[in-house]
Structure 1
Amino acid sequence: MEKFDAIVIGSGQGGNPLARKMAENGWKTALIEQRQMGGTCINDGCTPTKTMIASARVAYLVAHSEDWGINNQGYTIDMAAVMGRKEEVVLQFRNNTTRALQKAGVSIIYGSAAFSGIKTINVALHDGDIMELTAPNIFINTGAAPFIPDIPGLRDVPYLTSTTLLDMHAAPPELIIMGGSYIALEMAQLYRRLGSNVTIIERSPRLMSKEDPDVAAVLKNMMEAEDIQVITSADIEKVMIVDGHLHVEVKTGSTSLTITGSHILVATGRQPQTATLQAEKTNVTLDAKGYIQVDEQLETSCPGIYALGDVKPGPAFTHISYNDHLLIYKNLFEKAELTVRTRQLPYCMFTDPQLGRIGLSESQARLEGYPIKVARIGMDRVARAIETGETQGFMKAIVHEHTGQILGVSIIGTAGGEIMSILQMAMLGGITATQIRDMIFAHPLYAESLNNLFMSLEK
């Protein structure tokens, strides 16, 4: 059995920098990865999708160039080139990650890890051998995988996930998407712009059911404006293949529908990758859904074993996983005593335009009894948006009525995530709505309309 100071299971956006920093601080560190270096973000998530979304946006702009006074003589989409560009960027990021870990002296082990006892691990190597490891400090960063619901017939058809869809070198002619949240909406718009006919089927009464109703309404309008069919309050009762085509039987209220298509994408959530870890052998507790239970400092029920990223409960975002590693690293090496309790939780959905979100939604703030005022301005009143011809969406901020502190932000619009980030820093720094209202911003940035956003509180 080989002994290490630290073992990281999973090469995600938390595990990689943590492994590197521990090795640079003199800890003998092993990193176990069963697939490809970089985890979901680099290989199946953020990097490939945002690279392809950039190509799809160019296609959209070319198709609508006459709106800007540019007469276009026609265009074609070269999916091989789109995919080639995506794969080149993924490989670049993956190789950069590998080189940084190797330079730091991390022992990279490719195989599947399972606990064999208290802080002991067996790794089934790709060459068929078994390697045994142990360490006083172990960090689980195995992430999550697409959740496949138990719908009659679904497992009998060649369904797609957010992973396998990105491996297709042709846009599906008719793409049916199960789900109406982040992944579903990004993929719907992306593949519609690359030539697919797209239908979204969502079980809840509205898309993005955790967002405010006005946010959900704009997102639905965005989808439908690009000829994406949206069906909400819909229960999928059966999936089958008839004469070579997918048939999805849907019930909405008292109405039954049959949706046909060439491909179906399952985007109904994700589940933690803990099934093969045998966590019980090292006294690590899982919840009913398989997520690893952690305390406020991300330590599990077995002292010295921590969980980072999507394998634990909470927001499943890459930047949260990265922040997890910072928290653990600073607590271990700098005695910082950080916790997850007070950290900010921003996120951005990369539809076009974007949705940037942080803090309390309007619905949450009212439910929790905060005395609030709501600042709101349509993007059609933002000078920069009017000039660029992209006026979909709005800016909204939730402001404490008595202190002027910003409690939450929703920005749907071009550069929505960037605008949200400005207000995120204001929230962290305690800058009030009044201060931002009177602040000087360069003209004519999108950010300049934060003046007008907070002026709306005076009306």
Structure 2
Amino acid sequence: MAENFDVIIVGGGPGGYVAAIRAAQLGFKTAVVEKKHLGGICLNWGCIPTKALLRSAEIYHYMQHPGDYGLSVTGASFDIKKIVERSRGVSKRLNGGVAFLMKKNKVTVIDGVAKLTGATSVTVTKDGAKVGDYAAKHVILATGARPRALPGLEPDGKLVWTYFEAMVPEFTPKSLLVVGSGAIGIEFASFYRTLGVDVTVVEVMSQILPVEDEEIAAHVKKRLEKQGMKIITSAKVLGLKKAADSVTATIEDAKGVKSELTVDRVISAVGVVGNIEDLGLEALGVTTEKGCIKIDGFGRTNVPGLYAIGDVAGPPMLAHKAEHEGVICVEAIAGKHPHPMKKEQIPGCTYCNPQVASVGLTEKKAKEAGYEVKVGRFPFTGNGKAIALGEDQGLVKTIFDAKTGQLLGAHMVGAEVTELIQGFVVAMGLETTEEELMHTVFPHPTLSEMMHEAVLDAYGRAIHI
């Protein structure tokens, strides 16, 4: 006989475990089915461990430029094995923290792989053996996503890496080709370049970081190239020819001209695809779209009692989107009448050097949507704190509706902008106008003053430039 719950969540990643905690807080008898690691890809193989790697690279970068700060360092070097060990240790610590939170909130954790036997029932197996049958009033799918594999560029774990292998290298390659320049590709390109690797990035679109504002992306490209990175846009990798310990890529540019590049290793960073297979969706008639489960603003699928959240429910495939989606879904189930997900207010962050952060519409998208816009810009060179930090290269850009003063978008590149962006996210959520932002007092000396100046500049009132 099936064990019964109020809510069963399939997947213990950021969306799944947060949904489970919120469900438990609301009094639901809750279970999470997880086949491998609580915390999911983000905590174990994505967001958190990559930031640990990038932090090591950042410290090494400063060690290489001590004279900029009146310091001297001799014999600066790194140990890739210890860098990886630190990164894995950070993940392990947080993985244990999620397990503690499950226990604290009395959430039942079921170890295994779930398959739907009905809209509100699952069978769980582990290594081919049946663990048990479970039923619930509501089942939430939070199975996440995995790296996309393109024909001819299939990862093999040795010569062609995904982010899994790129995160735990046994050695530092001398040369590296990164295919794809989204957040994942650029972060790894930045990490390895800082460690001295000869890095080439190939992007099929006309700009790197394709979802970002063109002006910001151009700034990032210039900075990365100055660091010695080679970036080829409007190009594609047609195929890979593998040798014993190297790979030769055939690259075609926008004009159809082909060239070859031989490197030690290749990172395939051409996006991710939702984990929708082997869940039993077809038998239930669950609607999918572009490899993801189609949902409404509250996580509901077209099948009553069945929900989906996070990466498996479509872009933007970000951990914080998954977490918020999980809370919205559970609160809707509980009749709390939450606001539906507003994807335009989900910030995006890329932790390369320089950092990139944004929320809302780019200048191009705003104009395409029919807005008459006012655009403000403020450079890091005009900010005292940035100069004191030795980080005077960067830009803050704001986009307003000229007719209403609505903040349509904010885009940043430079030191610590991933921490600054939330100020604009809050402003957008509160439907703040340019007038209210202008009359907000920002502390001095801080990087956040540039946010204020960028707003002022949109209306011809910037003070410090």
TM-score, L = length of structure 1 = 0.94
- For 2:406, the aligned partner's letter is Q
Shift in Å, 1:320:
0.5
Q: 1:296 to 1:47 in 2, by over 3 A?
A: same
Q: Which residue of 2 aligns with 1:446?
A: 447
Partners of 1:153 and 1:238 within 8 A in 2: no
The unaligned stretches of length 5 or more in structure 2 are none
1:70 aligned counterpart, secondary structure: coil
Closer, same or farther: CA 170–381 of 1 in aligned 2, 3 Å: same
Quote how far apart the aligned CAs of 1:216 are: 1.6
* 8 Å Cα contact 1:434-1:454 kept in structure 2: no
Q: Which amino acid aligns with 1:44?
A: W
CA distance in 2 between counterparts of 1:106 and 1:452 reads: 47
Deviations 1:68-107 (A, max 9, x none): 2222212110222212211111111000101111232222
**Residue 311 and residue 154 in structure 1: after superposition, are their counterparts in 2 closer, same or farther (change >3 A)?**
closer
Output the amino acid matched with 2:169.
M
Indicate how the Cα distance of structure 1 residues 130 and 200 shifts in structure 2: closer, same or farther if over 3 A, else same.
Answer: same
Alignment check: 8 A CA contact 1:139 1:305 kept: yes
Q: What is the deviation of 1:382? A: 2.0
Please list, as runs of the form range in 1=range in 2, the aligned pairs for 1:221-260 lying within 5 A after superposition: 221-242=222-243, 244-252=245-253, 253-260=255-262
| 1:66-77 alignment, distance < 5 Å | 66-77=67-78
Alpha-carbon spacing, 1:250–1:447, altered in 2? closer, same or farther (3 Å): same
Q: Which residue of 1 aligns with 2:95?
A: 94
Q: What's the Cα RMSD here?
A: 2.0
What is the one-letter code of the residue matched to 1:407? L
* Separation in 2, partners of 1:134, 1:47: 33
Q: 1:326 to 1:227 in 2, by over 3 A?
A: same
Q: Decide whether aligned partners of structure 1 residues 18 and 384 sit closer, same or farther in structure 2, where only a CA change above 3 A counts.
A: same
In the aligned structure 2, how far is the partner of 1:156 from the partner of 1:306? 34
1:30-179 alignment runs, 5 A limit: 30-126=31-127, 128-151=129-152, 158-179=159-180
Deviation at 1:25, TM superposition (A): 4.1
* Cα displacement (A) at 1:383: 2.0
1:263 maps to 265
Misfit runs of 4+, over 4 Å:
152-157
Q: Deviations over 1:206-257 (max 9, x none)?
A: 2122322211211111211211111111121120123532100111124221
Name whichever of 394-403 and 128-137 sits farther off. Answer: 128-137
Partner residue, 1:290: 291
Q: 2:346 matched to which residue of 1?
A: 345
Matched AA of 1:441: F
> How far 1:339 sits from its partner (Å)?
1.4
Q: Which residue of 2 aligns with 1:393?
A: 394
Give, in angstroms, the shift of residue 430 of structure 1: 3.4
Q: Does 1:280 align with 2:282?
A: yes
Larger deviation, residues 447-456 vs 389-398: 447-456
Aligned residue for 1:429? Answer: 430
Which range moves more in the overlay, 121-130 or 65-74? 121-130
Deviates more, 1:21-30 or 1:208-217: 21-30
- Tell me, which stretches of 5 or more residues in structure 1 are unaligned? none
- Whole-angstrom CA distance in 2 between matches of 1:282 and 1:103: 34
Secondary structure at 2:205 match in 1: coil
Shift of 1:152: 6.5
Deviations 1:360-387 (A, max 9, x none): 1100111111121100122222222122
Aligned positions, number: 458
Tell me: CA distance 1:153–1:430, structure 2 relative to 1, closer, same or farther (3 Å).
Answer: closer
Aligned to 2:311: 310
Contact 1:157–1:240 (CA under 8 A) maintained in structure 2: no
Cα distance in 2 for partners of 1:144, 1:342 equals 18
Higher mean C-alpha deviation, range 426-435 or range 410-419: 426-435
1:264 maps to amino acid: V
